[in-house]
């Protein structure tokens, strides 16, 4: 049964791979599963039909037969549990891969996502510089934890996993900030992930939506 | 094999159940598993021995034989997968319970935790009122999504699950803000969770650490 995901009709990041449907597309590409996409306007996301599926009015969602899900982390875990390729079979290694999924979304993403919002919404506020610099300090500490853990390894724990997939989607939001460039092993880690054929296919599919909307 | 968790030697919330080891204690109590606690000072959390276990220098961690984990969400999921009581057996219901775990930690917790930090760290800043009110607006929208989803149900999706456990630990941070009091079904949901014997045992165990430190 082919799953259907939802995505932005007009990507706020101009097709740069940061919208969270990218995580689902990439996971589905890694495990070789086809999917369909239902595009939503910002208006449709706040209407009853979508709110019945996603109580917070966000994308992405995932529908597969009688299963309807939201939360990109949970959906990636569901895909990883159903199809080989994103979780190791050794039980302890499997739990550690899931640990990195939570670390990506609960330890790294909150300050990194905040930083994106501050740069968009608070640029003209009198506190902008002070607030950005406080956030950057938190982010740098967490990146340094990651730098030390990763060392010279290719991936966070053994083979590429759903933990790396989520971590890379979170870290990519910092591209251009200088904070990744200053940490060569993290920059190489992200480049290694972006070079995966499944990543490329997912990125191009998300970009195509933006290009089509822009050409209208 | 009895698991060992780490917790704050001196709780920043004065034993009010908000430190994240509470999630592990509660989950272990729900499934009837004993555990040991290793207390850490703020200094010890940043030393190499702990950083080898937790690269971001935080609590809690979880050690069980040759498995070492951090991230409270991942640890609760691990406990829930190993022992009956926190995840339904129906596969779709199980995935939805996990979805609520991610919703608690990735959709609700970031702005709610931010609010706690702002109230502590930015109270004297000139932008305090404006920033708090912007955060409260985000939080209210998410709470309203939860209010509508929960309706008159006891729990987020059928029986009490690890999703409810994490959601309640996140929402409790808003007690006293007026935002829960204004949403009676959410206030009742939290009260229902706090009345569970496993919750009480976990809360008292965490409180006892604070009381012991305070009596020194």
Look at strands A67-70 and A35-40 and give their pairing.
Answer: unpaired
Domains belonging to chain A, first-starting first, are 3-85+198-215 (3.40.30.10), 91-196 (1.20.1050.10)
Please give the DSSP secondary-structure letter assigned to residue A104. Answer: I
Q: Look at residues B103, B112, B211 and name the one whose alpha carbon lies nearest to residue B167.
A: B103
Are the beta carbons of B71 and A96 separated by less than 8 Å? no
Name the band, by pLDDT with cuts 50, 70 and 90, for residue A14. Answer: confident
Kindly list the residues from chain B whose CB atom is less than 8 angstroms away from the CB atom of residue A74: 95, 98-99, 101-103
Are the beta carbons of B95 and A73 separated by less than 8 Å? no
φ/ψ (deg, to 5) at B39? -90, 140
Q: Is A82 on the interface with B (CB under 8 A)?
A: no
- Across the range A134-147, mean pLDDT stands at 97
At residue A126, the pLDDT reads 84
Kindly list the residues from chain A whose CB atom is less than 8 angstroms away from the CB atom of residue B75: 99
Kindly list the residues from chain A whose CB atom is less than 8 angstroms away from the CB atom of residue B67: 92, 95
Q: Is A175 on the interface with B (CB under 8 A)?
A: no
In sequence order, the β-bridge partners of residue A36 are A4
Q: Is A140 on the interface with B (CB under 8 A)?
A: no
**Residue B92, pLDDT above cutoff 80:** yes
Q: Is A101 on the interface with B (CB under 8 A)?
A: yes
At residue B216, the pLDDT reads 77
Q: Is B32 on the interface with A (CB under 8 A)?
A: no
Per-residue model confidence as pLDDT tens digits over B48-73: 999 999 999 999 999 999 999 999 99
Are the beta carbons of A148 and B92 separated by less than 8 Å? no
Name the band, by pLDDT with cuts 50, 70 and 90, for residue A44. Answer: very high
* Count of pairs with CB atoms under 8 A, one residue in A, one in B: 106
Are the beta carbons of A74 and B56 separated by less than 8 Å? no
What is the distance between the terminal CA atoms of chain B, rounded to a whole angstrom?
32
What is the distance between the terminal CA atoms of chain A, rounded to a whole angstrom?
32
- Across the range A148-176, mean pLDDT stands at 97
**What is the value of ipTM here, to two decimals?**
0.96
Name the band, by pLDDT with cuts 50, 70 and 90, for residue A125. Answer: confident
Q: Is A151 on the interface with B (CB under 8 A)?
A: no
CA-to-CA dists, residue A44 to A6, A8, A9, B144, angstroms: 11, 10, 10, 18
Q: Over the Cα atoms of chain A, what is R_g?
A: 17
DSSP string, chain B: --EEEEEESS-TTTTSS-STHHHHHHHHHHTT--EEEEEE-HHHHTSHHHHTT-TT--S-EEEETTEEEE-HHHHHHHHHHHSTTSS-SSHHHHHHHHHHHHIIIIIIHHHHHHHHHHHHHSTTSTTHHHHHHHHHHHHHHHHHHHHHHHTT-SSSSSS--HHHHHHHHHHGGGTTSSTTTT-HHHHHHHHHHHTSHHHHHHHHHHHHHHHHHHT-
Per-residue model confidence as pLDDT tens digits over B145-200: 999 999 999 999 999 999 999 999 999 999 999 999 999 999 999 999 999 999 99
**Residue A216, pLDDT above cutoff 80:** no
- Across the range A160-189, mean pLDDT stands at 97
At residue B13, the pLDDT reads 84
Which of A51, A105, A142 shows the shortest C-beta gap to B102? A105
Burial annotation B34-66 (CB, 10 A radius, 16+ → b, else e) = ebebebbeeeebeeeebeeebbbbbbbbbbbee
Kindly list the residues from chain A whose CB atom is less than 8 angstroms away from the CB atom of residue B57: 145
């Amino acid at each position: 049964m082919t799953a259907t995901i939802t995505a932005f009709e007009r990507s706020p990041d101009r097709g740069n791979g940061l919208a969270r449907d990218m995580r689902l597309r990439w996971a589905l590409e890694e495990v070789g599963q086809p999917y369909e996409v239902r595009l939503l306007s910002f208006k449709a996301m706040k209407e009853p039909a979508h709110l019945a599926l996603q109580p917070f009015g966000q994308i992405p969602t995932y529908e597969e037969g009688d299963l309807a899900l939201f939360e990109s982390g949970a959906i990636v875990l569901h895909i990883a549990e159903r199809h080989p390729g994103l979780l190791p079979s050794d039980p302890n290694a499997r739990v550690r891969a899931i640990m990195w999924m939570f670390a990506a979304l609960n330890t790294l993403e909150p300050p990194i996502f905040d930083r994106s919002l501050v740069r968009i919404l608070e640029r003209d506020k009198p506190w902008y510089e002070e607030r950005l610099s406080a956030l950057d300090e938190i982010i740098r500490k967490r990146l340094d934890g990651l730098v030390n853990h990763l060392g010279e390894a290719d991936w966070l724990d053994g083979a590429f996993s759903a933990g790396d997939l989520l971590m890379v989607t979170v870290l990519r939001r910092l591209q251009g900030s200088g904070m990744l460039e200053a940490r060569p092993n993290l920059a190489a880690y992200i480049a290694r992930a972006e070079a995966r054929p499944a990543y490329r296919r997912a990125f191009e599919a998300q970009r195509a939506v933006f290009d089509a909307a822009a050409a209208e």
